[in-house]
Amino acid sequence: METRQRAGRHPGEWTLVAQFGEARLIRHVSGSLQLRGGTPADRAEAHDWIVRFLRQHRPKAAARA
């Protein structure tokens, strides 16, 4: 899978940190991270990236959309 990183923004609510297939890692205005959507493989790829680059963060899992 290809990892895409971009700085997308949803006005006043959250910022897109990175996307892994259909899984999106977002940062809320409060500073918390959340991993939304994606297949199990997408989410595993996101987890590996988070462990490597964002060790201090543990994103909350969201209901699958």
Q: Which sequence spans correspond to the domains of the chain?
A: 3-61
What is the mean pLDDT of each successive set of 10 residues along the chain, which is 65 residues long? 54 87 92 93 93 75 57
Cα–Cα dist 10/46, whole Å: 20
The pLDDT value given to residue 1: 43
Closest CA to 49 of 14, 27, 28, 20: 20
Q: What is the pTM of this model?
A: 0.69
The pLDDT value given to residue 63: 54
The pLDDT value given to residue 9: 60
Please say whether the beta carbons of 45 and 23 come within 8 A: yes
The pLDDT value given to residue 54: 83
Going edge to edge, which strands form the sheet with 33-36? 3-10, 14-20, 23-28, 33-36, 60-61
